[in-house]
Structure 1
Amino acid sequence: MPVGVDPGCELCAGDLPDGWMLTYLDGDPAGEATRETMLTLGNGYLTTRGAPPEATSDGVHYPGTYLAGFHNRLSDPGRADGEDSIVNLPNWLPLTYRPAGGDWFAPGQGRRVHEHRVLDLRNGIYLRELLAVDRQQRRTRIRQRRLVSMANPHLAMLETILIPENWSGRLEIRSAVDGGVVNSNAAAEAGTCGRHLTEVASGKDDPETVWLTAVTTSSRQRVAVVARTRVGVAGAPAAHTSRVTAPGPDAVGHVFGIDVAPEGRVSVEKTVAVFSSRDRAVDAPLTAAREELRYAGTCDVLLAEHAGAWHRLWERFRLDVGESHRWQAPIRVHTFHLLQTLSPHTIALDAGVPARGLHGEGYHGHIFWDELFVYPYLNLRLPELTRALLEYRHRRLTAARRAAESAGMVGALFPWQSGSSGRDESPSRSPSPVSGRWLDDYTGRQQHVNLAVAYCVWRYWETTADLSFLAGCGVKLLIETARFWAGLATYDPSDDRYDIRGVLGPDEYHDGYPGRPGLGLDNCAYINVMVAWALARAEEAYAITRGQPGAVPWREVAVDDDERRRWAHISHRLRLVFLDHGILAQFERYGDLAELDWDRYRRRYGDLRLLGSLLQAEGDDPNRYKISKQADVLMLLYLFSADELTGLVRRLGYDFDPARIPATVEHYLSRTTHGSTLSRIAHAWVLARTDRRRSVEMLQTALGTDLADPAHSSTREGIHLGATAGTLDILQRCYTGLEVRDNVLRLDPLLPEELDHLGCVIRYRNLLITLRVERDRVQISAAAGADQPVPLTVRERTVMLAPGDTITVALHRGIGR
């Protein structure tokens, strides 16, 4: 029998489909926090980490419950306005048992003979079975099912079956809600650790139901949790006792007592409703939670509704490479965790894309530029969700304008780290992951987040042709971004060029020139090319909306002819710098930097993902070297095709030869440490057409970002959401050659050797399209309906795809129906 298998365990004995299951048998304490992240359940509104219900935050386990966009600000001596963070909310999970007079089952109490945990991805259920032995050698088997409802965003459920295997007597069960929680999942981010909840109140509604409310310390947001616990035998009500208990100073619950015999089955159904003062159409969160729970069905009913909602999501987000393929299970894990943070329920919320999802407190739950890697996937699946998330940026446009004004600039400047209000939440000092010393942190000067916002706005518009969004929100975001960068550009009449100085590109190893840390760099290739592109898109968007006077009731942003002419001039004359042989320089004077002795540092440290911090710990300066933490120049090839990039550089007046792109890729890739999880996403994409073997290697590593090495993984602080969506998008768009350009849906498939087929469902201009790409052909089927046909180009041949059509493309022979 395999090690860890228990013949009495239903999960061990069950025939579980591997491609839909994430399984953990037993497990060492060092990796427990990562496993709890991977076992998180959520619905785009509410998430709960996969901690055991009998556990508290103890350095090994970390129960955490979060609501999308629910933040609070703690006072911090280092910041006058305090630190903003996502809030760890009252823990609704607590449930444990004991034989009367014995110890309550908890980590460290008794012995766990066996523990088997399974995340059922198809149905969105966390299954758990364990066998526990107490100090009196009483054996109790515990079987649990847990869900956070995808059918009703405010409901969650925990079902527990308790089976005393070798004892009889009185069994006591304690079910509670704990409001005494603190934020401590990301200990390095000390400013947000601590108690975010105050004014905790609790009470009992009936022998099965308790409630708890709390208020955040600064934002004064109220949250309410109402829990109903029903105890029975074999799924039916049974005689038992019930009394209210307070297992902690800010906790409330029930203790139930019931008589049991060996092999008897006691069922415990715990259902909770969660509301906050941020919810729409809610007068009082406690009243709303009570009402929701009153109408909530049994566990079986909730499970059926929840599984049905997940099945519908899987139909829309299907991405198939073959059930036996080693990528299929990771693909589903990534899809599952993306949808737990960003789902149809998120559309009604004021929320952005947190870099670590809703799975932990990494980066305080802040929003970075990671949306750049997320929206392209969502645009072709659930574009309404992208629109709602972009509206998060639009609602904070006033704060971005004020940030630009404070910096002496015009337009809008979005912060590198954004939270609840839109003010800049970037830290000024951070601890080194190598030495632990607190160092000046200049990452907040990455103003290129503005360009990411503009890029996301335009790509959403290209994919959807959503004129109401472009006219109502998109054009303002594009214009204010254009104004910021046009204001930052300075004109050099000697050669009719514009310079952008003192900025930081995506590569965080360089925040200034040697001896000038934090002062920024001049003429970053990524920034200057993106600015040229963004200025042209702002002009184009303005022209589109100006030609649609009925699209909005009034025009909030006016652009005069002089301003547009200046945009046009800048977008044609921004300066780029080149190295030898026509390779784009990452920034001006990049060629003067020293080469690193890579072999020496690999011998010394092995893993160089923290190279910048390693150099600082040695008293050296990463600004001195031609090194990169992540894709910078090569981000341009992630965002644009080779043809597009060539056109952009030539538009700036440079004689750019696209034949130099492979040499450019090799130059920077050989000097990159991939210190960010997003780096391999970008490089897998860039290499897809020139070096498919390395592209696949990069993708394979990215697919394992949150699954590998749990003992040393930062996944304990949350899912890497940008990497999660980015891996899916490589399969969806990169390997299929799918792009939207000039109002045409284009396909140019080139599968890697590791794939013999790839199937997915996309939505383009309201047309639901099923794609199946094989080595020698691609089949495109449009669902029947009343939508308008769309132009489709495959390998430079264009046809019209109408609802109900199926088009088969022989990749080397032509097109047939």
Structure 2
Amino acid sequence: MKDRLFDAVIFDLDGVITQTALVHSLAWKQMFDNYLREREEAHGELFLEFSHQDDYLPFVDGKPRYKGVQSFLESRNIELPFGDASDSPETETVCGIGNRKNIAFNNILEIDGVKEYPSTVELIHTLKEQGIHVGVASSSKNCKQVLETAGLLELMETRIDGVVSAELGLNGKPEPDIFTTAADRMGVAYDRTVVVEDAVSGVMAGKKGNFGLVLGIAREENTEELYVGGADIVVEDISEIGIEGIEEWFIAGLEKDNWDLVYHGYDPGKEKTRETLLTLGNGYFGARGSLEESNADEHHYPGTYMAGLFNRLTSKVAGRDIENEDFVNVTSWSQLSFRIDGGEWLDIDKVKILSMRRRLHIDVGIYCRKLVVRDAEGRETSIRSRRIVSMDDPHLAILRYCVTPLNYKGHIEIRTELNGTHINDGVERYRSLNQQHITAVKEGTANRLQYVEVKTTQSDIHIAMASRIDAEKGKDAVVDFEYLTDKGKAVTLVSCEVEQDESFDLVKTTVIYRSDDEGVEDALATAITRAEQAADFQTLLEASAAAWKSIWEKADIQLKGDRLAQKLLRVHIFHMMGSISPHNASIDAGIPARGLHGEAYRGHIFWDEIYILPFYFMHFPEAARSVLMYRYNRLNEARKYAAEYGEKGAMFPWQSGSDGREETQVIHLNPLSGKWGEDHSSLQRHVSLAIAYNTIMYGHYTNDKSFMDEHGAELLLEISRFWAGKAEKDEKTGRYSIGGVMGPDEFHEKYPNSEKGGLKNNAYSNLMSIWVIGKTMGILKQMDTQKKASLFDKIAFSMEELGHWEKVIKQLNLDISNDGIIAQYEGYFDLEELDWDYYRSKYKNIYRMDRLLKAEGKSPDDYKVAKQADMLMTYYNLDREVVNTLLGNLGYKLPAGYLKKNLNYYLQRTSHGSTLSRVVHAKLAGMVGDHKLSWELYLGALTSDYQDVQGGTTAEGIHAGVMAGTVLAAINTFAGLDLLGDIVRINPELPEHWRKISFNFVFKGVSYRCEVSQEGVMLIPDSDVVVEINGKRKDLLMGEVLIQQ
């Protein structure tokens, strides 16, 4: 007997198994029409009859009975008390009216009986014969009665219906409760279970439940709506797929889907978020996934961004001259449109969209779109496009655009352009600032070529783009080309006569260069030459796909048991690689906190690399090295910054851009109040601790001694010098204190009623600084004597400083309560408690409690309220025993269980206003043994950009830190990979539903293949090593397969 590919099928009842959907619709109609006539007589309200299409389907279908009543009444602006399920049908409540419907349904059922869908019943019998579990999940309270009448009840292993749901308190569709409960009762994994549904709310529930296949049955000509709702496959009848089709999905379809990010339909309010998540990049540049026919407006924002490309402008804000350096949106290249017979150019917001599907093929880096529209004249057109930002050649992008008339023939004209006339306009709160960052230099067209050169207005970097336009439409077709230019713009019009069902293809091959690219003398000439000589679409596609394949061989994570997590882990890796790839080894740029995906945070580099670089250490160390070199190349600027404030060593800026100066705003706009306020966030000096941490860890992971000797040691010395210099001794206590800083929690900038920014003895900064200083001293001891002497001479470093460092790392002060709570900073325990329940009920979304409080005239500085993990971040970075040692060296002994107590204490006071917050807390929850909490926090982090949980911020760019952090958490927190010591250690704590996770990594020059399952660990190294699995050490030979139960 062959192995089963799936274990269970859960069917909806009405419209899937039985033809009672129409009975329900008729019962609802009878009941509501009678009720509406009663209201007409009683209240004089105009009677409008209940309609299957306009009322039943959108408001009632698939919902629990009382929810359906409530939904329909709201659509008619009728307000009634909800009542109780025991209300009599005569009672004018939501429940009473719902009970009237039940009477009408039973009457119709008694007269007409139950009709089945033969193909569904046949499939149920086939499934039972093959030992596959079968259940039914329905919102109907008549489910048992209907199945009994149809003679099908005995075939159902489990039944979760309206009656059972009420007993168990389950949420109705579109929540997945009835389906997950059915699966749980049958003892089957969700990812090996099929949900079959005919209602949009039902397929939405199936998708939310993370089931292996959500099969939509389009009984109401609602194929597109079911796809939009979340169906994987839609058929009009189950006979179209059968058990063979379901098996084929689990053989190939599901794995293919795990490599795709798919959006069905068009929702203007979500477009900018989807543009971000459909962005293509290669580390050199990134291009948002905007629709080709769109322009920058309320719902769309085309954008192309290049690593390290900034421009500085001054704006008048709140009566002050404010200087900002921004990430530049360069020339637009991906915009195309078409028109028919000289009419209007296609406007996506002015035509009827019959269907739209966008698919990002993550494995090969191709963004595809299929669109069918109908214009005002009834002409239907198919538009297909494929877009690539080459991972093989960082200067190359390719776009194929295909127009097919479906019910007409005519003269089709396609317009494509290079446009460098726009401003930065991707973030609404920046719109009062000067955003004209590029100006035209040169534009032109030639034989099937268009080109535009612009330059940044202040940094004076030239950006050149050239595109070759190729048209494809049969051997004998007459294709006309027309060329137009305007300042900063080059336009090509391509047209020909096209018959019905005939396709007209245009291929646009674009090359992009900058004047500061290494080895490039003339950016425009280079771009034009390369565009002319570029290969055909298929060749370029295959080359890029091969480059992506090489990346995935190193970086992919394979996961069994969680369909959503598998997809999102790959989405996150894809966007990380689009932001920084092996191409960055030769680029002097850091990692923007929002990727190459948008203009949020002005493209600046913060401390997020502390969450990001460990992934690169173990997969792409050359890219990680380039990011550290970005910091090293700005070390002199950090020295100058420290000197300006009377500090020693190097003080790196909280926000960095082109040259390493401080780019943090001095005032900040609160979008809730519309007011500008002082911004002290530049006091987050801990950014240098992140740089030092990554430098130390890079050396630890890679054994790159040349980097550490030539660059790393100097970075560490100057950063340690800075922190040791900030430590001032209190002669009364004999301890050192560090003041005037902020920790990672940005809600706290200063003390209550103080005008001066900064806090004293931030626990995270203090603990990390003594760790960095101690590690730096250790690295110096191992350094070659001559190289060390040369370095000391270079930076005028004396042994006396080391003596001071020794004192600081043993005598730095922390504020710790009697029961072992480590204060976030000195004075934290004196702050007021916040009434969290009050604010949750008032605002619902309280992520940005700082803005809410300030809009009320209050200050977060007065309250115990945190944006994200602060003191707890120490335990995210370092092994728990290492932190305990640091505390012990300072003379502090904390009680047993103190970490769990601290986690609970701070979690209760954290709003998770940063997407990074849940990543940190998830790891700590796992450390203290609360695996349920760990998973809940992790899932919130994993889906934060995908679901845009912060209400629109993803539209402005990805959150690179949380994307990388969730990938690392899968490897470290759950698979249990620990590389903080000198050997590989693995102590897994997989979530219950993760059956297996597999990945590759490199540590200290050795490549490993690792698989962790609920049964054990498999590890294969490519060299002889010592490893430790679940606390047991093992000598492992090259290529030897270690299987540890």
Could you tell me which amino acid in structure 2 is paired with residue 799 of structure 1? Answer: K
Does structure 1 residue 792 correspond to structure 2 residue 1033? Answer: no
Tell me if the contact between 2:703 and 2:1005 (Cα under 8 Å) persists in the aligned partners.
no
1:504 and 2:739 equivalent? no
Q: How many positions carry a matched residue from both structures?
A: 801
Is the CA contact 2:974–2:989 (under 8 Å) kept in the aligned structure 1?
A: yes
The alpha carbon displacement at 1:134 in A equals: 2.5
- 1:418-497 → structure 2 map (5 Å cutoff): 418-497=656-735
How far is 1:332 from its partner?
1.0
Does the CA-based 8 Å contact 2:334-2:399 persist in structure 1?
yes
Q: Assess, with a 3 A threshold, how the Cα gap between structure 1 residues 711 and 669 changes in structure 2: closer, same or farther.
A: closer
Secondary structure of the corresponding residue to residue 614 of structure 2: helix
Contact 1:319/1:331 (<8 A) preserved: yes
* Residue matched to 1:267: 505
Residues of 1 paired with 2:1036 and 2:619: CA distance?
A: 18
Give the equivalent residue in structure 1 for 2:845: 607
| Structure-2 separation of matches of 1:18 and 1:354 | 29
Per the TM alignment, residue 803 of structure 1 is displaced from its structure 2 partner at its CA by 3.0
How many angstroms does 1:564 deviate by?
0.6
Q: In the alignment, does 2:335 pair up with 1:94?
A: yes
Structure-to-structure mapping, 1:7-18, within 5 angstroms = 17-18=256-257
TM-score where L is the length of structure 1: 0.94
The aligned counterpart of 2:389 is: 148
Query: Cα distance, 1:510 vs. partner?
Result: 1.3
Is the radius of gyration larger for structure 1 or structure 2? Answer: 2
Cα offset, 1:601, TM superposition: 2.0
Deviations 1:598-628 (A, max 9, x none): 2222222222212122111222221222221
CA distance in structure 2 between the partners assigned to 1:233 and 1:466 by the alignment = 55
Assess if the C-alpha contact under 8 Å between 2:700 and 2:1004 holds in 1: no
The amino acid across from 2:293 in the alignment is E
The offset of 1:94, in angstroms, is 2.1
Are 1:770 and 2:1009 an aligned pair?
yes
Name the counterpart of 1:537: 775
Moved more, 509-518 or 116-125: 509-518
Match of 2:325 in 1: 84
Structure 2 counterpart SS, 1:556: helix
Confirm or deny that 1:201 pairs with 2:452.
no
Alpha-carbon displacement from aligned partner over 1:87-121 (angstroms, at most 9, x marks no partner) = 10100112111122211112344332222111111
Question: Within 5 A, what are the aligned runs for 1:239-250?
Answer: 239-246=478-485, 249-250=487-488
Say whether 1:721 aligns with 2:941: no
Query: What amino acid sits opposite 2:567 in the alignment?
Result: A
Q: Partners of 2:260 and 2:1037 in 1: how far apart? A: 37
Stretch moving more, 155-164 or 104-113: 104-113
Residue 195 of structure 1: CA displacement?
A: 1.6
Q: Report how far residue 668 of structure 1 moved.
A: 0.7
Q: Is 2:589 aligned against 1:358?
A: no
2:1043 aligned partner, one-letter code: T
* 1:192–1:644 Cα change, 3 Å: farther
**1:80 CA displacement:** 5.8
For residues 608-650 of structure 1, give each alpha carbon's deviation from its aligned partner in whole angstroms, at most 9, with x where no partner exists.
2121221112222212222211101110111112211111110
1:553 is displaced (CA, Å) by 9.7
Distance 1:80 1:63 in 2: 29
Deviation at 1:540, TM superposition (A): 1.5
Structure with the higher fraction of residues in helix conformation: 2
Q: Does the alignment pair 1:227 with 2:467?
A: yes
Distance 1:553 1:418 in 2: 26
Q: Verify the 8 A CA contact 2:780 2:788 in the aligned structure 1.
A: no
Equivalent position SS for 1:119: strand
Counterpart of 2:1042 (choices 794, 807, 816) is 807
Distance in 2 of aligned mates of 1:553 and 1:620: 50
Change (3 A) 1:552 1:98: farther
| Unaligned runs of at least 5 residues, structure 1 | 811-817
CA distance in 2, matches of 1:351, 1:332: 24
Work out which of the residue numbers 261, 282, 289 in structure 2 matches 1:43. Answer: 282
TM-superposed deviation, 1:493: 2.6
Deviation string for 1:401-423 (max 9, x for gaps)? Answer: 00000001110111111000101
Provide runs of 4+ in structure 1 moved above 6 Å.
10-14, 550-555
CA offsets per residue over residues 262-314 of structure 1, 9 Å max, x none? Answer: 11111111110000112111111112112222332111111111111111111
Q: Secondary structure, in 3 states, of the residue corresponding to 1:355?
A: coil
**Rounded Cα–Cα distance in structure 2 between residues aligned with 1:550 and 1:237:** 74
For residue 52 of structure 1, report the CA deviation from its aligned partner.
1.2
Between 419-428 and 490-499, report the one with greater CA deviation: 490-499
The CA deviation at 1:737 is: 2.7
Residues 545-601 of structure 1 show CA distances to partners (whole Å, capped at 9, x for unaligned) of 244749989963453221111111101110011113111111112111222222222
Match of 1:21?
260
Counterpart code for 2:224: G
1:4 is aligned to 2:4: no
Structure 1 pair 401/237, CA: closer, same or farther in 2 (3 Å)?
farther
Contact 2:381/2:406, CA 8 A, preserved across alignment: yes
Do the aligned partners of 1:90 and 1:178 also contact (CA within 8 Å) in 2? yes
The whole-number CA distance in structure 2 between the counterparts of 1:377 and 1:457 is: 14
User: In 1, Cα distance between the equivalents of 2:968 and 2:911?
Assistant: 22
Aligned amino acid, residue 452 of structure 2:
L
The answer for the alignment partner of 1:813 in structure 2 is: none
> Is 1:698 equivalent to 2:918 in the alignment?
no
C-alpha deviation, 1:82, in angstroms: 2.6
**Aligned equivalent of 2:4:** none
- Name the amino acid aligned to 1:483: R
Amino acid in the other structure paired with 1:104? W
Separation in structure 2 between the aligned mates of residue 394 and residue 565 of structure 1, nearest angstrom: 26
- Structure 1 residue 5, shift from structure 2 partner: 6.3
For 1:92, the aligned partner's letter is W
Q: Distance in 2 between matches of 1:471 and 1:728?
A: 31
Aligned counterparts, 1:126-141, within 5 A: 126-141=367-382
For residues 537 and 80 of structure 1, the distance between their equivalents in structure 2, rounded to whole angstroms, comes to: 43
How far apart, CA to CA, are the structure 2 residues paired with 1:745 and 1:559?
Answer: 36
Are 1:45 and 1:153, in contact at CA under 8 Å, matched by a contact in 2?
yes
Task: State whether residues 361 and 717 of structure 1, in contact with CA within 8 Å, keep that contact through their aligned partners in structure 2.
Answer: yes
Cα distance change, pair 324–479 in 1 and its aligned pair in 2 (3 A): closer
CA shift digits 1:387-433 (9 cap, x unpaired): 11011000010110000000011101111110001010000111113
1:629 paired to 2:849:
no
Counterpart CA distance in 2 for 1:355 and 1:561 is 38
Distance 1:87 1:279 in 2: 16
**Which stretch has the larger CA shift, 17-26 or 722-731?**
17-26
- Residue 231 to residue 337, structure 1, CA distance change in 2 (3 Å): same
In the alignment, is the contact (CA less than 8 A) between 2:747 and 2:866 conserved in 1?
A: yes
Deviations 1:65-88 (A, max 9, x none): 111111111222357683111110
Could you tell me the percent identity over the aligned residues?
35
CA contact (8 A) 2:656 2:662 kept: yes
Q: Which has the higher contact order (CA 8 A, sep 6+)?
A: 1
Does the alignment pair 1:125 with 2:366?
yes
Q: CA deviation at 1:364?
A: 0.3
The secondary structure found in structure 2 opposite 1:582 is coil
Q: Contact conserved, 1:63 with 1:91, CA < 8 A, in 2?
A: yes
Letter in 1 for 2:348: P
- Other structure's SS at 1:580 match: coil
Q: Which SS does the other structure have where 2:402 is aligned?
A: strand
Q: Please list the CA deviations of residues 174-219 of structure 1 after superposition, one character each: whole Å capped at 9, or x if unmatched.
A: 121111121000121247652211133111231x111110111000
SS in 2 for 1:315: helix
CA RMSD of aligned residues (A): 2.2
Name the aligned partner's letter for residue 61 of structure 1.
H
Q: Is the 8 A contact 2:466 2:531 kept in 1?
A: yes
**8 Å Cα contact 2:561-2:994 kept in structure 1:** no
Q: Is the 8 A contact 1:451 1:481 kept in 2?
A: yes
Q: How many angstroms does 1:434 deviate by?
A: 2.1
Distance 1:221 1:82 in 2: 19
Letter in 2 for 1:145: R
TM-aligned CA deviation for residue 237 of structure 1: 7.5
